[in-house]
């Protein structure tokens, strides 16, 4: 796997996994945070997940911008010459979109952890 492919697949596969892992760990950390009456563990998990999501999203968007600036092969009606470049561009755009969506999800979950008390039932 090349670095260019990793940029795209990291956003497509790792970001949803990171968001799910963050949600699981944050849910598991709530009883401890309520017991010690502090939310620093929830905030630390949120910051780590948000940074990982932002980095992977930026890598995917960098690959998208690189592909948009790359000259495309001239395609005719009977030719599939532009298909690989178009496919790579689509995958990079999808990766950037998935990364942006899950970054927003993690950010909103952090906002909820910031506003609400861990002991709120």
Does residue 4 register a pLDDT over 70? yes
State the residue for tokens 């990766």: 95
- The closest of 82, 54, 56, 52 to 67, measured between CA atoms, is 82
Structural domain including 63 reads: 3-68+85-115
What's the total number of domains in the chain?
1
* Within a domain: 31: yes
The angle subtended at Cα 111 by Cα 62 and Cα 51, nearest 5°, is 30
Could you tell me if residue 76 is inside a domain?
A: no
pLDDT, tens only, 11-57: 899 999 999 999 999 999 999 999 998 889 999 999 999 999 999 99
- 108 domain-assigned: yes
Give the closest residue to 60 by CA, choosing from 100, 117, 102, 104: 100
The three-class DSSP label of residue 71 is: coil
With respect to residue 121, please indicate whether it lies within any of the assigned structural domains. no
Which residue in 117, 115, 110, 119 sits closest to 50, CA to CA?
110
């Amino acid at each position: 796997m090349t670095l260019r492919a990793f940029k795209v697949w990291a956003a497509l596969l790792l970001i949803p996994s990171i968001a799910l892992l963050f949600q699981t760990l944050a849910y598991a950390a709530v009883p401890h945070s309520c017991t010690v009456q502090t939310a620093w563990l929830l905030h630390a998990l949120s910051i780590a997940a948000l940074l990982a999501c932002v980095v992977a999203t930026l890598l995917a968007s960098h690959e998208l911008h690189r592909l948009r600036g790359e000259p495309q092969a001239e395609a005719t009606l009977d030719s599939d010459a532009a298909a690989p470049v178009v496919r790579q561009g689509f995958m990079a755009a999808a990766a950037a979109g998935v990364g942006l969506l899950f970054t927003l999800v993690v950010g909103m979950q952090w906002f909820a952890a910031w506003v609400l008390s861990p002991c709120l039932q």
